[in-house]
Amino acid sequence: MSTSKLLVFEKLHNIRDLGGMRASDGRRIVSGKLVRCGDLSEFSEQDRKAFALLSDTVIDFRTDGERREKPDIKIPDIRYHHIPVLDSLTAGITREKAADRNVFSRFGAEPDKARRYMCDMYHSFAESDLAAAGYAQFIRILMKPHERAVVWHCTAGKDRAGIGAAIVEEILGVERNAVVDDYLATNKYLQGDIAFLTEFVKSQAGEDGLVTEEALKYLFGAERDYIEEYYQTIESKYGSFGGFLRDGLGLSWEDILQIQSLYLT
């Protein structure tokens, strides 16, 4: 399996199990242990029951503003951790109303600028010490044994959750091309939600005429240019992705082997 597997929920978007993805040494990621998704602010009753069986730990990468606007629905016996990895309003990555209004007034009718804006965001994200510290905390949580899945999420499950997934997959030895393919798979898994997202964004922008479908595609889709910008910036700053794991996340080789022993079979 080259990408994560979409899980079936009624209300949850882009919720995917990394289980089954192959590492370069032939082992595979254990199913039911590592799950990425979009926001957890709306559950059906069936979703609530299924999620309680799925997870024992939830990590929320969103900003305080996002969490106020759409708080996670808390389920008993699940541990919740808030680990923000952005310190500013960033439309296309966050879904805060102020950020959306700002970015669509600037880029909503200019797709090329919207695409460049997102590349710049991924560059800044890779440079960010706050993001590195947040992901280091995330990985430390993964280093502890868990009975059920650790679920990490942002709002759409694309950028912050997607980078979190890429970091985990790199640690577990998934080939780079498969990591990128999994990042890009978000486009397939969010395809059915595009009408909802379009109307949501237009309502935040305030003027439908300022928003084009192509600009939305760049702001809310997963583009190869974005993840490549992230990797290039990481490797420029740290020398290699391994250097990022060591110097950015503070992981030793023994830490990496421990994580692999927990999540590969």
Percent of the chain surpassing pLDDT 70: 85
Dihedral in degrees, nearest 10, Cα atoms 73, 263, 166, 148: 0
Question: What distance in Å separates the CA atoms of residue 233 and residue 150, rounded to the nearest whole number?
Answer: 28
Query: Which run of H or of E encompasses 150?
Result: strand 149-153
Residue 202's pLDDT is what? 63
* CA-to-CA separations, 57 to 46, 124, 181, in angstroms, rounded: 19, 28, 26
Rounded mean pLDDT, 159-180: 97
CATH number of 5-263: 3.90.190.10
Lowest mean pLDDT among 34-48, 78-92, 175-189, 236-250: 78-92
- Can you name the residues that pair with 35 across neighbouring β-strands? 17, 151
- Name the 3-class secondary structure at 6: strand
**Rounded (10°) angle between helices 111-127 and 97-107:** 130
For residues 130 and 86, the answer to whether their CB atoms sit within 8 Å is: yes
Report whether pLDDT(112) > 80: yes
Instruction: Supply the Cα-derived Rg of the chain in whole angstroms.
Output: 18
The chain-wide mean pLDDT, for the chain, equals 89
DSSP string, 238-255: HSSHHHIIIIIS---HHH
Domain boundaries, the chain: 5-263
156 pLDDT exceeds 50? Answer: yes
pLDDT tier, 91 (very low <50, low <70, confident <90, very high otherwise): very low
The residue with tokens 């305030």 is 206
Q: DSSP for 68-122? A: HHSPPPP-TT-EEEE-----S--BTTB--HHHHHHHHHHHTT-HHHHHHHHHHHH
pLDDT tens digits, 44-63: 999 999 999 999 999 999 98
Q: What is the pLDDT of residues 187-220, one digit of tens each?
A: 888 876 666 666 666 666 555 555 677 887 888 8
Task: Give me the mean pLDDT over the 99-114 stretch.
Answer: 71
| pLDDT above 80 for 21 | yes
What is the mean predicted confidence (pLDDT) over 121-132?
A: 94
% of the chain exceeding 90 in pLDDT: 69
**Rounded Cα distance, 245 and 172, in Å:** 12
What's the pLDDT score for residue 207?
Answer: 54
pLDDT of residue 221: 86
pLDDT at residue number 217 = 82
Closest CA to 158 of 116, 81, 221, 85: 221
pTM over 0.95: no
Helix 129-142 and helix 160-171, axial crossing angle in degrees, nearest 10? 60
Place of tokens 């600028």: 113
Which three-class secondary structure state does DSSP give residue 131? Answer: helix
- Residue 244's pLDDT is 98
Q: Are 233 and 123 in contact, with CB atoms under 8 Å apart?
A: yes
Grade residue 84 by pLDDT with cuts at 50, 70 and 90: very high
Residue 94, pLDDT > 80, answer no
**Residue with the larger pLDDT of the pair 125 and 93:** 125
**DSSP states along 36-69:** EES--S---HHHHHHHHHHEEEEEE---HHHHHH
pLDDT in tens, 232-242: 999 999 999 99
pLDDT at 204: 60
